[in-house]
Structure 1
Amino acid sequence: MNLRLTPASAEHLPFARDLTRRGMLRYYCQYDLLWLDEAFDQAWNWREQWRVMDGEVLVGFCSLSQDSKALYIRELHIVESARGQGIGAWVLRELDAWAAQRRLQCLRLTVFKSNPARHLYLREGFVEQGEDECFVRMQLTSH
């Protein structure tokens, strides 16, 4: 694998929206939440958007924001055909390094309670910080 993160632009928005919707819709239904394409599109404009590339092949995307303490993973999605190959773990390690380079204390994310990705985050060193009806807040202290 030749993995790298490259900036995403407006032309990548349909891919990212579709990938996110396909991956998240089951959780939206499970927790009786409403998916809105418009909400995703609005967030696109104020977040950092990155494509996950394996060589020249687009295998996923991630969406980030930050404040003075943390880098937040708002979305991280890998195409189904590329899952289970360590790409998500690679992205998490890369983003942890970015948080350290930006002199941020930690990497944070929120995950649906029933999402199996929660186990990946725990394996990569994230600690559960709290939860509500459907989400778990997780944090990785930057190295």
Structure 2
Amino acid sequence: MSTPPLDLSTLHLSPADAEHLPLARDLTRRAMLPYYQQFGLLWVDEAFDQAWAWREQWRVMAAAQTLGYCSLSQDRQALFIRELHLLPAYRQQGVGAWVLDALKGWAHQRRLPLLRLMVFSSNPARHLYLRAGFEEVGQDGCFLRMQCSVPMLEV
């Protein structure tokens, strides 16, 4: 059964809370476990749950339907995308690009000049990030550090 095309005009980010943690954890584990195994890393549910408590959590929504979630943190310089995962049925439909654009807007609103993330070097999502204007700025073992500049308007 195929998923009908999404109406991208209905996309929005909605706060996630403790009731959404199990779905986010499971989605992240399923998406990331092959990379963890490829690079000899150990997935630990408790570590995910601890990070959930101190990060900003957002559901990626189309109307009332949850398509995935993203997890954010920030410092004085950048908004960090810690996680961005979509349910498999909603990948490659423009949703990820929409989320990245929305987060660029959030970084701008927060007066942060950079949007940053880390991605496994073998993860094809890095091509989405490159198309969205991110640059590879370093490597930490199996992870690529990527960032894009957020234009700041002079007042």
Q: TM-score with structure 1 length normalisation?
A: 0.99
Q: Aligned to 2:137, which of 129, 133, 137?
A: 129
Q: Match for 1:45 among 44, 50, 53?
A: 53
- Counterpart position of 1:36: 44
The amino acid that maps onto 2:34 is R
- 2-side partners of 1:67 and 1:84: how far apart? 30
Matched, 1:140 2:123: no
Structure 2 residue 69 is matched with structure 1 residue 78:
no
Q: Secondary structure at the match of 2:133?
A: coil
Q: Which runs of 4+ in 1 moved over 6 A?
A: none
Higher Cα Rg: structure 1 or 2?
2
The alpha-carbon deviation at position 49 of structure 1 amounts to 0.1
1:45-101 deviation line (CA, Å, top 9, x unaligned):
000000000111100000000000000000000000010100000000000000000
CA distance in 2, matches of 1:53, 1:80: 14
Q: CA deviation at 1:132?
A: 2.6
The 2-side partners of 1:141 and 1:57 are apart by 31
Give, in whole Å, the separation in 2 of the partners of 1:5 and 1:78: 13
For 2:116, which of 92, 108, 111 is the aligned residue? 108
Percent identity of paired positions between Structure 1 and Structure 2: 66
**Partner amino acid, structure 2, of 1:13:** L
Query: Distance in 2 between the 1:46 and 1:23 partners?
Result: 22
RMSD: 0.5
Looking at structure 2, the residues matched to 132 and 9 of structure 1 have their Cα atoms a distance apart, in angstroms, of 30
Query: Structure 1: how far apart are the matches of 2:140 and 2:117?
Result: 14
TM-score scaled to structure 2, two decimals? 0.91
Number of the residue aligned with 1:18: 26
**Equivalent residue number for residue 89 of structure 1:** 97
Secondary structure (helix, strand or coil) at the match of 1:96 reads: helix
CA distance in 2, matches of 1:65, 1:21: 20
Q: Which runs of 5+ in 2 are unaligned?
A: 1-6
Q: How far apart, CA to CA, are the structure 2 residues paired with 1:16 and 1:102?
A: 25
Once residues 138 and 8 of structure 1 are traced to their aligned partners in structure 2, the CA distance between those partners, rounded to angstroms, is 25
